Each structure stands twice: as C-alpha cells, then as structure tokens.
Structure 1
Amino acid sequence: MQAPDSQSVDMPGADLPSARGGKDFGIFMPIANGGWILSSTGPRIDGSYEYNRRAALLAEEIGLDFIMAMAKYRGYGGHTRHWDIALDSTVLMSALAAETKRVKVWTTFQTLLHNPAVTAKMIATLDQVSHGRAGLNVVPGAYHDEFAQMGAWPETLGHDERYDYAGEWLDAVKRLWSDDHVSLQGRYITLNDCMSDPKPVQTPRPFIVAAGQSGRGMEFATAYTDALFIGGRDDDEMRAISLRAKDMAAKAGRRLRTYAMAIIVEGETDAEADAMLATIREGFDEEAFVNMMRAYGVIDAEIGRENSMTARARSGFIAPHVAGSSETVAARLQQIIDNAELDGLMLIFPDYDTGLRKLAKSVLPALRARYGATDPA
C-alpha cells in the first residue's frame, strides 16, 4: 500500500499541542451504555445525549484538546446489556460541535457502511458547524456481527482486503474535500464526475485518525492518516508498536502521531483507588464478556492470536487502566507517554462527571506542565 503523492505535504493538526512539542489529551466519549467497563457494580453510564453533553462541556472547560466518539451498531448483551444502547457518532458530535467552541470533535465512520461521497459531505458539514474543529476516525471494519445483522458484511473481503478498500475509500474522501469534480475508477470505489460542496473549513483538510497495530493496519495509517491509536499487552510491546509506526511514516516522508487509551480510576489515595477497582470487579459481566470475545475473536483467525483488548477485558476493563492517587496516576501516565514516545492519550473514566473534575485538579496540570501548555501563545 502506497500513499497518494499529496501525502508528503498533506499535514493537518498544526493547532494541536503535539505540533508544538506538547502532547494531545482528549476523551473517548461515553456514547454507549456501560462505557468501557464490563460490570454491574461500577458507576452507571447510560449512553444518553445529556450524559455525553455534560462530558463534552467538562472536557472543554478543563482544557482538553479533543473529544472522540466511536460508531457502534450492536452491543454485547449480558445482564448489563453492555453497549446495547449507543448513539450515532456523527449526529452526536454535530450536536456537541454546536455546544462547544474550542475542543476538537472527532467522529467515526465505518468504511464498509458509508459511501465516501456521503462521508465527505457529512464531515465537511461537521467542520462548518464546528468552525474548523472536525476530525475523522476511520474504521476499515472487523466486526462481523454488527455488519451481518444489516446484510452489510462482505464475505469476499478478508482482513488485508478491507484495508485496501479503506485506502481507496479515504483517497476518494480526500479528493472530494479538495477537488471540484472527481472521477475515480478503482478496484472498489467508483466516482463519475462526482461533486461535493461545501468543502471543509480546515486547510489542508480535517484531521484523520485510525486504530490498529497489525502490519497492514500500520501500513494504512502511515499512508492515509495523521494519528494512530495503539495498544499492547505491556509497555514494551506498546513502545515497539509506536516506534515501528513512526519509523514507517518517517520513511514515507510523513509524520504519524501515536496515541493510546487509558481508563483513569483516581482516588484520594492508592488504597481508595484499589477499593474502587475491587468494587468494579465484583460485578464483572461474564456473559457480556463472552459475547465480546465472540465479536472480536479470542483467537482471531485473520491475525492469529488473541488481541490485547480481549485479553485485558477478562478483568472487566476493555481498555488499559491506571489507578491510584492523583500523584500515582500522573506519574504512571507520564511513564506510558515517555516509554512509548506517544503524542497523546485518549482518556476514559468509570464516571465522567467525577473523573474529569478530579483530572482537572492535579493530573492534567501536571501533564501540561511536563509536556507544554495548550495555548500556542
């Protein structure tokens, strides 16, 4: 997979802290019920618009850089009905764009479900609503049950082919953002004198992110995106993935930011945070976990091993978690960032109302002091 020729000069994100030597911090929006914890004894996240609105306004108030929402079409059931209730990513982010003034608003599109011309117009509209703050999270699609339930699973496209499809899809979107007329006859995507106006407000274009750490996933990110969300079973694996992705981008003449996710469980003391963890684990939803394992694959036949997300979820947490006092949390987040040479973090909370307020008291100021302030002035 090779990047389009324009990629060498196609570098959005100049107004993010990472463009000035700092780090980017944002939140993964609680768009679906249960959040990222498979438990009936944790704080209640209902996935409602009002809950998400409060989280977005708090994120902006405390000075975070971005908010991002996933796209989810089928949950995992269980006695918690985990992720069975989920808002639409782009409709939500459009509403929140009108409610906020500064924070970036990044929405998610599944390439297998959305026509690139429709996507181009929707993101351009979101960019206009937000006055140039829109971003696009691209998911090539690997969730069989979500797509099969609506008759949209392409049986002929394997893991690698889905990235080929996504590359053509994203090339079409980018061209529609810049060109007045686009004709494209690809292996998967066809555009015939296609027009898409208005264009995005941002120049050269909106920020694009993706997630993935397979070889093909990193090739896709290197060629087509501005940032890659990564994970790993431990710090060493995350560092190896981050450095490999950055090296691939550098060899292609591009800059690729790497981000990671972390669930923050902050207490007044380490012992209090540990007690919160214990309470959450008491309500572990085994049935939802099994359904999630089925959806993601305990052993993914296309990749060949259990992925880090499903392995971690055995403890009830779908993303890596950092627990402790504010000092412990800040020190651990700095360790993760420095070790993996990350450009930022996307944070998650068992409860966003209390979690964001706690973050603002000491953890976020400590991170900003170490990595630079948000204001370029």
Structure 2
Amino acid sequence: MLRVCYVAGQPNEPFGSIGREGRPGPPTDRDSPTMKQMHLGVFEVAGPQVGGTLSWPHPRSESLRFHELDHWIHIAQLLDAAGFDFLFFADGYGFPAIDGDLPDLAVRGGINFPALDPALIIPTLAHLTERLGFVVTSSTGLDHPVQTARRFATLDHLTGGRVGWNIVTGASQNTVAQLFGHTEMTQHDARYDQADEYVDLALTLWEGCWEDDAVVGDKTAGVFADPDKLHRIEYAGEHFRSSGYFTVDPSPQRTPVLFQAGTSARGRAYAARNAECVFVQGTTVDQTRANVADIRARAAENGRDPQSIRVMVGVTITVAATHDEALALRQEFDDLQTDEVVAVLYAGNTGIDLLALHPDLPLSQMNNGTGPAGQMGQSNIDRFLGTDGRPAPTVREILDQLRGRGTRGFEVVGSPTEVADQLEALMDDTDLDGFLLEPVFDPADLEDFAALVVPELRRRGRMPAVAATGTLREQLTASGDPHLAADHRGARFRVSPPAAVLAP
C-alpha cells in the first residue's frame, strides 16, 4: 500500500505546516469517554523485509533473522506488552517476475523473496503472549475451502480465539498459476466471483455443522459429543461442492476475524459484504477518506452497522527523541533505495516492468486490459492512470513516487508528539479506525514506537491505559461477543436444527 509522504515539521499536502515540536491535530475532547480509540497492528512477512523495499543490510535491521523463532517471539511479546491489537502476516506463494522469470535483483536484494509460511509460527507466538491477535493471509484461489476452514479453526483453538484470516483473491497471480501448473491465470473479477463462494462454504463449515453445545466431554458417560447436534453439510455451488461433516469442533470464535485488503471497486464491495477489518490502500488523504466512506456506505447497504467495520491503513513511522534525529534515520533508509528495487516490486505486484517502458509516457502506453497487466495488482495500476481531471503520471514520476515506499502506506517522520499529532489528524480526517505499522528497520522501529509513541497516545486517550483482552474479535469490536455479529452475512449460515442444508 503506497502512502502519501508527509514529514512532520515540513510543508505537506494533507495537513500543511507544523512546528518542529509538534502541534495538536483537529480539536478533540480528550476527556470524552466516546473518543475514537486507535487500533494498531503490525504488517510483517516471514521474509527478509517488509513492503518490497530494501532495508535488511542496514545495521539497525535484524530481519535476516526471519528464520529464527526467537526473532518473532521478541516482536510478538513487544507488541503484546505495548497494547497492539494484532500481528499481521502477509503471505503468498508468488515471487517477483519480469518477462516471466525471477529477476536477479530480487534474489540479490531479497526483494519480496524468499518467504516462509507464517501460519506455522503463530501457535508458538500465541503460547508466549497474553492477548495479542494474529492475522495471516490465505488465498481463495488455491486450497479448497474445507482445507482453509480446517486450518483456521485449528489456529483459533490453539490461540484461544486470537486469530484472523486476511482474505485475498491472489497475489503475483501469473507466477502462482505457473508454479501450481495451471495453464492460465484466473481473471481479476472472476477471482472475486470464486472468492464469494469460497467464503460462503468456509462459513457454512464453521457455523453450520456443530451446534454450540454439541461437545459434551463426559468421561463418566463416555460421550464426547451429541450426534443429534451435528448436521451434515450439503453445499453445491458453481466453483465448489462439499458433502459431509466438518471435523473440527467449534473454536472460541468459530469463524476467525475476517480481514480483507484491496481497494479496487470490486475489492471494496467484497469487503463491505464480508470483512470485519479492512486494510485500505494509503495513497492520498482524499482518496483514503473516499475509500473509507465508500466501504461504510456499502456495508450499510448490506444491512451492516457501518461503524462496526474496522478500517485501517498502512503507515511507515520513523520516530526518535527529536525531529532532526528522526529525519536522519529516515534518510539512511532512503539512501538504500534505487529504481531497480522499485521495478522489481512493481513487476511482482502488477506484471508490469516499469524499466521496460518509455520513462516520459504514462502507463496508458500499455494495453492494460490483456495479459498479466490489468489482471493482478489492480489497485496499484488504477492509481497511476489519472483520475478526477488530474493527468496520469509518467513512468519516471511513478518510479520517483514509489522509491522507498514500495507497497507501504503513509509515511510519518518526527518526534513522539509530532508522530502522535499526525496519526490523530489522519484518523480524524479520514474516519479511519487505526493503522498497521510497516517497519523499515525491524524490530528497532517497533521498539521505538512502543517506547516513544504509545505512552503519548495513552496520555491523549487514544489508547487505553490497560489493553483489552479476550478473543481478537472482542478486542477489535469491544462487543463482548467472540462470534460474528448478528448483522454479518455469515450469521445466516448458523446451524438451525434439525438440519443445515445451505446453498450459495
């Protein structure tokens, strides 16, 4: 998720100029019990670095330790103690590709390559933390829904109800199709058609097979479960079919918290129907505000409480005791970035090699509707095509915009008060519910934020003095209920004795 770059203490488009010592954001009643709380997550990959940029060679980064459990345990325990809501792992089988092959720079630079399976790390991290949630990406285009439902129900049991599913229709789709032996890549909108059915079947399995009190666990009577309270699933759709019983008994949340990342029009519509937490793309403040409003409006059209959806955006934060120290740290990161790094990242996300295009022309020089281009990474194509009467940027301008940003969201650089000011202002201006931190130097950036910014946010009433506990859903919604809300479409899949026969 690309961000508008604005640096505290310097002129900027969204918020104008602020002083070096910071200034308050939009007026808020910090003594009001109704002040909107700031939810926080951290965006990670089980690889050398986050966001398709270059940072692992820097002395402040320890991300080369991504193979080591101790590295992730330290991060999880740090976030748990600091009051973060969740640790989010992006994941996928794909890799950057230019002209159909893995570029040398991706290998040499560790740009979105390689990566482990983060789902296997989560049970250990949950065991060694008290309340932190864990979200992991899983695509609707590879495994059968039964496999995904079983995996997440197991994780929900092992974490005590602290797991979420980031639903994606695919990433690096052309390379994934080839890797799995498919003859062609499924087209963008068709993937969402398939994803609708995929989630429906998963919800059917989680919600529609076992009644709440089916598990008896009576040692004396020798009864594990009441067979009258299990219901056979019969599902027949265009893409998926299933007949039988779900083998995992109800977990604390039954359905994991449903996350969705994607800001295309189809993605927003999908999120409004299914997602409980949406990760929107941070391009400009105006666009973010519009995307948040659109998702909430669409949710209302689907009969959901629009404010119940937690909408968050990525943010890369560089904070230090003083403004100048923070700027210096950020500059050290920027000095590592090149056009080649940008090109590898963008090609992996969209199928487009920017360095192969004429630098003084916009993306429209390509035929974006055919082939890989235009069928993957749609949001990162659409954003550069020119909208609202503004001309489309040239390829040279796209490279400059993406340098040091990759797929990251907004950027904030400054002292603790400056960072808190900017986060408050951005949240209040756009109706966001919070942020996913995308560390540059990992875990140093997270340690700095926890030590310097979290106390300031607590002082302002944006974070509670004592972090919430319970399942991930309870922490995010403050509803006191670990299960899907009654107005979520998944509620219709709940078992209704004497049988659960559900169709799309």
Is TM (by shorter chain) over 0.5?
yes
The reply on whether 1:159 has 2:188 as its aligned counterpart is yes
Deviations 1:154-184 (A, max 9, x none): 7363111101111111111111112222211
Q: Secondary structure at the match of 1:69?
A: strand
Q: Look up the match of 1:318.
A: 407
The reply on whether 1:89 has 2:118 as its aligned counterpart is yes
Q: How far apart are residue 28 of structure 1 and its match?
A: 1.3
Structure 1 pair 295–20 and aligned structure 2 pair: CA distance change class (3 A): same
- Give the conservation status (yes or no) of the 8 Å contact 1:124–1:200: yes
Taking the aligned partners of 1:234 and 1:156, their CA distance within structure 2 comes to: 31
Q: Look up the match of 1:230.
A: 280
Q: How far apart are residue 247 of structure 1 and its match?
A: 0.9
Structure 1 pair 80–50 and aligned structure 2 pair: CA distance change class (3 A): farther
Q: How far apart are residue 117 of structure 1 and its match?
A: 0.6
- Give the conservation status (yes or no) of the 8 Å contact 1:112–1:152: no
Q: Look up the match of 2:77.
A: 57
Q: How far apart are residue 150 of structure 1 and its match?
A: 1.6
- Taking only the aligned residue pairs, the percentage that are identical comes to 25
The reply on whether 1:267 has 2:320 as its aligned counterpart is yes
Q: How far apart are residue 306 of structure 1 and its match?
A: 2.7
Amino acid at match of 2:82: I
Structure 1 pair 336–152 and aligned structure 2 pair: CA distance change class (3 A): farther
Structure 1 pair 124–304 and aligned structure 2 pair: CA distance change class (3 A): closer
Q: Look up the match of 2:44.
A: 29
Q: Look up the match of 1:358.
A: 448
Q: Secondary structure at the match of 2:453?
A: helix
- Give the conservation status (yes or no) of the 8 Å contact 1:24–1:345: yes
Q: How far apart are residue 361 of structure 1 and its match?
A: 2.8
Please say which of residues 83-92 and 213-222 is displaced more in the overlay: 83-92
Q: How far apart are residue 191 of structure 1 and its match?
A: 0.7
Structure 1 pair 200–152 and aligned structure 2 pair: CA distance change class (3 A): farther
Taking the aligned partners of 2:176 and 2:262, their CA distance within structure 1 comes to: 19
Taking the aligned partners of 1:75 and 1:266, their CA distance within structure 2 comes to: 31
Q: Secondary structure at the match of 2:432?
A: coil
Q: How far apart are residue 129 of structure 1 and its match?
A: 0.8
Amino acid at match of 1:226: E
Deviations 1:44-92 (A, max 9, x none): 3222333222111111121111111111334441531223221202112
Structure 1 pair 285–196 and aligned structure 2 pair: CA distance change class (3 A): farther
Deviations 1:112-159 (A, max 9, x none): 122111111111111111111111111111422441342255736311
Q: Look up the match of 1:71.
A: 91
The reply on whether 1:242 has 2:271 as its aligned counterpart is no
Q: Look up the match of 2:251.
A: 200
Question: Among residues 143, 164, 167, which one is paired with 2:172 in the alignment?
Answer: 143
TM-score (norm 1): 0.87
- Give the conservation status (yes or no) of the 8 Å contact 2:92–2:139: no
Q: Which has the larger Rg?
A: 2
- Give the conservation status (yes or no) of the 8 Å contact 2:282–2:313: no
Amino acid at match of 1:31: A
Amino acid at match of 2:403: R
- Unpaired stretches in structure 2, ≥5 consecutive residues: 1-33, 97-105, 210-231, 353-362, 364-372, 385-397, 469-477, 481-504
TM-score (norm 2): 0.66
Equivalences, count:
358
Structure 1 pair 135–221 and aligned structure 2 pair: CA distance change class (3 A): same
- Unpaired stretches in structure 1, ≥5 consecutive residues: 1-18
Q: Secondary structure at the match of 1:196?
A: coil
Please identify runs of 4+ aligned residues in structure 1 that moved more than 6 A: none
